[in-house]
Amino acid sequence: MRAAQAEVEQTLLELPETVRGAASKVPVIYERRPGHGLVEDGLDDDLLGLFVGDPLAEEGLGGSVPAQILLFLENLWEFVEGDPEAYAEEVQTTYLHELGHYLGLDEVDLEERGLD
């Protein structure tokens, strides 16, 4: 978990200041894998990350779940087949992908930015 936290913290520091302020507001939760409830809700058990809650533009409008980014560390590790360098890169990519959702980007926007 420490490697993932360090990568997220470094990524956050490298963001433009205008984005960094918003990004620092959304907590990152590190889980081993998606919980039973998420899988029951139809999400894949090999999911790498997930943004839940209201996007930045909708904050304060009465959402039921606080905005947060979930990173699934064992899935990330397995996805890169245990390669530490690839793991760091994938943690960064997954974090930025989920942060993009928080900032209001959809899948097409993220794909255009190489964050798919």
- pLDDT one-digit tens code per residue, 30-71: 999 999 988 899 999 999 999 999 898 777 666 678 899 999
pLDDT, average across residues 72-92 = 97
| Domains of the chain (ranges, CATH numbers) | 2-57+64-109 (3.30.2010.20)
pLDDT, average across residues 87-93 = 97
Question: What mean pLDDT value characterizes the chain?
Answer: 92
pLDDT, average across residues 12-36 = 94
Secondary structure (H, E, C), the chain = CHHHHHHHHHHHHHCCHHHHHHHCCCCEEEECCCCHHHHHCCCCCCCCEEEECCCHHHCCCCCCCCCEEEEEHHHHHHHCCCCHHHHHHHHHHHHHHHHHHHCCCCHHHHHHCCCC
pTM above 0.85, yes or no: yes
Note the pLDDT of residue 7: 97
